Chains A and B, each alone.
Chain A
Amino acid sequence: MSIEIINSPTISSQTIEQGVSLSQDAFRRLRKNKMAMAGLFLLVFLIVIALLTPWIAPYSYDGQDLALGATSPSQQHWLGTDALGRDQLTRVMYGSRVSLAVGFIATAVALLIGVLWGATAGFVGGRVDAIMMRIVDGLYALPFTIFIILLTVVFGSSMLLLFLAIGAVEWLTMARIVRGQVLTIKRQEFVEAAVSMGLSPLQIISRHLIPNVLGPIIVYTTLTIPSVILLESFLSFLGLGIQPPQSSWGSLISSGVETMEEYPWLLIFPALTLSLTLFSLNFLGDGLRDALDPRAAKD
């Protein structure tokens, strides 16, 4: 791919060749990964539907039709209705709004705290690093899931609480990963070169550290979202998360389980949607990880 030219005479800069950056290289590889691309498209599809739900949902999410009762999937109700005659398709769609919102926002919270914490610890190093990571290690030992359960019992379960609580759990691992990456990059000689050039810390961080740390952060973020969605569904399933009449996939599954013998579709469709979302995110995350693997870039 590269040509060794030794002591060449100066050539006019008319024919400057474009280089292929590592990111472009990674994108190429990602596009070749069919499962990851399928996951990406499915994810985008679900997000779009979730965003447009208030306008495109066939029924309202709490509209009951007691006379109708539970019916299996039909022309009027694609996913059937539950015992109170509520349209399942609508409920699943509204549920996706909740679950996806919690997934993305809580992850964003975790990302923000984790990156700031980990990057600071990694970059400053020394005493500050030791203390900051000691705190993380200490917090790591606490059974957060249990704490979240307590929080929902004590304070009731609002969306805001869930965002913060779940975000507060996930930031720890994010901080560890970011710190690890920063430390690895910091030791690379090009960072030393930047220091010896007399660049300010801000210049070093923005131009040298962050672009090289982004890769694993992106991968890990993509893989955190499904964990968060899973955690929220888990809580809702136990009845500790989103309360009715608002539905999230977890609570839909929970009610589906109660009547799964008589009305299996009430369980199957929300379960299917949840699983498909998790699939797409995981495949996408795996694909990103493979695409950004530096070992694959270096020939």
Chain B
Amino acid sequence: MFIFILKRIFQSIPVLLVVSLVTFIMIRSAPGGPFDQDRNVPPAVIKNLNAHYHLDDPLWKQYVDYVVNVLKGDFGPSFKFQSHTVNDLILAGFPATMELAFYATLFALVVGLTAGIIASLKPNSLQDYIPMSSAMLGICLPSFVLGPLLLLVFGIWLQWLPVAGWGQIPGDKILPSITLGAAYAAYIARISRGGMLEVLSQDYIRTARAKGLSPARIVFVHALRGGITPVISFLGPAIAGLLAGSFVVETIFQIPGLGRFYVQAAFNRDYTMIMGCTIFFAFLIVTFNLLADVVLVLLNPKLRQQINEGH
């Protein structure tokens, strides 16, 4: 098991390297350096800045230096905000983004699983159509549509919830979390319904019924294990979408998170910030994918045995 995890970590390293390389190449191919936008800077100063940030070195050397620094944990100074390093900015924005993603996932799991399981118990009935239609709504209303709508209704018209900020006014975490999590709740509802239906039609559920077990036991002890597997498979890659979604949600609700910083960095051509964030995001995505895979293996005794035997 441990070796399996090691193996997966080992396989992830090239991915991160590729990400950093591709990002690096793309950034450097962009026309215009980071300081061109400040038109009032005299050329001599530009020359000094370039030297200070090693922009005169051959490209490959810049890249290698960068990677070495990253491995030491140093993402370099921000190009735009000269008094801060990228590390500072990431550390500043990361907690908010992570918290947002966490609440969104929590919302998505609670709402999605409940809806999906309830729907699967009585297929093609009202108990099925209502949650599934709501799920369809969740899929077709993207976060940048849902967010403003919720803001409009609950923040401006009804004035029940705050419209901006994170952690300043009580309740200001509700709307952003729901906005980000809604689409995922919808997907999880559909996937868990599908997974549960698949499991409930299996022979071993029929055996459980024939043994006279209570319906609760059949659903939660027997069916859930198998029914949840596709949801776990979905969650791994979903983290990438959650991070991307945070860009939008943080922008709409003015949340000082990493997503918003990232979008701003993109506009500002803040090289180091873009690279740092990209690699950081890639790292998060890889980690969560690995976690999801590990959970999948833990849930399946047959896979567990295969892994332990060295497959």
Contacts and interface: CB of A to CB of B under 8 A. Distances in A.
Contacts, number: 104
Interface residues of B, number: 43
Nearest to B149: A271
B281 A143 contact: yes
Contacts of A234: 142, 144, 244, 248
Contacts of B41: none
Contacts of A250: 144
B12 interface: yes
Contacts of A193: none
A146 B244 contact: yes
Interface in B125-159: 136, 139-142, 144-145, 148-149, 151-152, 156
Size range of the chain A interface in the assembly: 35 or more
A1 interface: no
Interface stretch (A57-65, A87-95, A202-210, A274-282): A274-282
Interface in A250-283: 250, 253-254, 256-257, 260-261, 264, 267, 271, 274-275, 278-279, 282-283
A256 B252 CA distance: 12
B114 interface: no
A150 interface: yes
Interface string B271-311: 00010001001100110010000000000000000000000
Interface of A is mostly: helix
A138 B282 CA distance: 13
Contacts of B22: 142, 147
Given A264-B152, A283-B136, A141 B285 contact: yes
B244 A142 contact: no
Interface string B3-33: 0000000001011001100110011011000
Contact of A145 (B18, B140, B240, B267): B240
A154 B26 contact: yes
A260 B152 contact: yes
Given A142-B19, A150-B27, A267-B148, A282 B136 contact: yes
A240 interface: yes
Nearest to B269: A153
Nearest to A151: B26
B145 A150 contact: no
A238 interface: yes
Contacts of B278: 143, 146, 150
Contacts of B70: none
Contacts of A146: 244, 278, 281-282
A149 interface: yes
A256 B148 CA distance: 9
B263 interface: yes
Interface in B238-254: 240-241, 243-244, 247-248, 251-252
Given A153-B30, A275-B145, 18 more contacts: A140-B237, A141-B289, A142-B15, A142-B282, A143-B281, A146-B281, A146-B282, A147-B26, A150-B26, A151-B26, A153-B266, A253-B148, A260-B151, A260-B152, A261-B152, A271-B148, A275-B141, A278-B140
Q: Give the top 9 A-B pairs by smallest Cβ distance, nearest first.
A: A278-B140, A154-B30, A145-B244, A271-B145, A237-B144, A141-B15, A257-B148, A153-B266, A279-B140
Interface of B: 12, 14-15, 18-19, 22-23, 26-27, 29-30, 136, 139-142, 144-145, 148-149, 151-152, 156, 237, 240-241, 243-244, 247-248, 251-252, 263, 266-267, 269, 274, 278, 281-282, 285-286, 289
